[in-house]
Chains A and B, each alone.
Chain A
Amino acid sequence: EAGVTQFPSHSVIEKGQTVTLRCDPISGHDNLYWYRRVMGKEIKFLLHFVKESKQDESGMPNNRFLAERTGGTYSTLKVQPAELEDSGVYFCASSPLHRGWGEQYFGPGTRLTVT
């Protein structure tokens, strides 16, 4: 069974440009999460999808970030326009719908560098 995949693995963009990150969860996993780790600090929650619906987007930093999950399958996270402080590693995770105790499966992450 394929794990969570993310594309690209690394992106370098200039301030003011737009970047779109993609996540493909494990097949059949209805829960999809986005997290971010900045400068070696803690991994912080951004948002949570259940199928195609946004369940919780309380961690999204501002309206420059837009996440979508078309048809309840893959998800994209767009940053527009990118700022220097958006640099970090963006992780996607997925889990089955009724996994009640928190285990989530993480992708390898996308390292975003904004210059």
Chain B
Amino acid sequence: DQQVKQNSPSLSVQEGRISILNCDYTNSMFDYFLWYKKYPAEGPTFLISISSIKDKNEDGRFTVFLNKSAKHLSLHIVPSQPGDSAVYFCAAFDSGSARQLTFGSGTQLTVLP
């Protein structure tokens, strides 16, 4: 039973426009959420995170929004660039018990020039 779900396997966006990647979770014990970016033949690279006590975290072109009541988070990339084309994984972390990350299945983002 997947505790973190990314329901869109792929997303195509025009360069310069906004990319919105979505993620849902079921475990209310998760208190940190992270986004990782993965290029082919490379490992996932940390992008941005958010604590469950916040509803927004921004870092340059990347903003993560958290809606705890809906158990939903999203990653916004503005403006999107061709170099952003990669697989984006949503991950969740329970700092109180298990130390592993629980990942979604990823969304392939393609930014078209």
- Return chain A residues, CB-CB under 8 Å to B44: 43, 91, 106
Report if A102-B95 is in contact (Cβ < 8 Å); known contacts: A42-B106, A43-B89.
yes
List A contacts of B32 (CB < 8 A).
Answer: 101-102
B interface residue count range (under 10 / 10 to 19 / 20 to 34 / 35 or more)? 20 to 34
- CB neighbors of B among A87-108 (8 A): 91, 93, 100-108
**B70 beta carbon closer than 8 Å to chain A:** no
- Known contacts A42-B2, A102-B49, A103-B49; is A56 also within 8 Å of B43 by CB? no
> For the complex, what is the distance from the CA of A41 to the CA of B79, rounded to whole Å?
28
- The reply to whether B93 and A102 form a contact with Cβ atoms under 8 Å apart is yes
Q: Which residues of A contact B49 (CB under 8 A)?
A: 101-103
- CB within 8 Å of B: which of A43-57? 43-45, 48, 55-56
In chain B, positions 37-96 with a C-beta closer than 8 Å to chain A are 41-46, 49, 51, 89, 91, 93, 95
User: Which of B34, B42, B100 is packed against the most chain A CB atoms within 10 Å?
Assistant: B100
Query: B100 → chain A, closest Cβ, in Å?
Result: 4
Is B25 among interface residues, defined by CB-CB distance under 8 A? no
Task: Give the interface of A toward B (CB within 8 A).
Answer: 4, 9, 31, 33, 35, 40-45, 48, 55-56, 58-59, 91, 93, 100-109
Known: A33-B101, A102-B101; 13 extra A-B contacts, CB below 8 A, are A9-B41, A41-B105, A42-B2, A43-B101, A55-B99, A91-B43, A93-B43, A101-B93, A102-B34, A104-B46, A104-B101, A106-B43, A108-B41
